Amino acid sequence: DNVGTKDLNLYGLQKGSALGIVSFGTNDTAGYPARLTILRSGNVGIGTTNPANLLTLHGAGMLQLQANTSVMTCDGTNAGGIYYNGGTYKHYGCNSTDWLALY
């Protein structure tokens, strides 16, 4: 092991009145850029230091989510949401009022 090499950097930030920010960074040639950030509000960002939603993903790649046994309500808050129905073997999207089969 090389004692001078760090694989993970975990730190808390206090910037003025911005308390409660936690970031995970990994060592690369640019220093320790944040890879995952948790704000005081509870918003979590992957690939961003300023997540605007409960979970904000920034960057190219594939997303995999764990299935849930209940379906959220299709309304204006969940417009754009997607769920998979194992009984019909289809994905459904919320248009703000109804769940519509995507194919």
How many domains in the chain? 2
| Sheet of 34-38, strand order | 9-15, 18-25, 34-38, 44-46, 55-57
Distance of CA 11 to CAs 15, 25, 33, 56, Å? 13, 8, 11, 20
53/75 same-domain check: no
Owning domain of residue 86: 65-103
Cα distance between residue 88 and residue 16, in whole Å: 52
Q: For the whole model, what pTM was predicted?
A: 0.48
Q: How confident is the model at residue 57 (pLDDT cuts 50, 70, 90)?
A: confident
Tell whether 72 and 53 lie within a shared domain.
no
Q: For 22-42, write each residue's pLDDT tens digit.
A: 877 777 777 777 788 899 899
Residue 43: the pLDDT is 93
Residues 13 and 41 in one domain: yes
What three-state secondary structure class fits 62?
coil
Look at residue 100 and tell me whether its pLDDT is greater than 50: yes
Say yes or no: 50 and 80 in one domain.
Answer: no
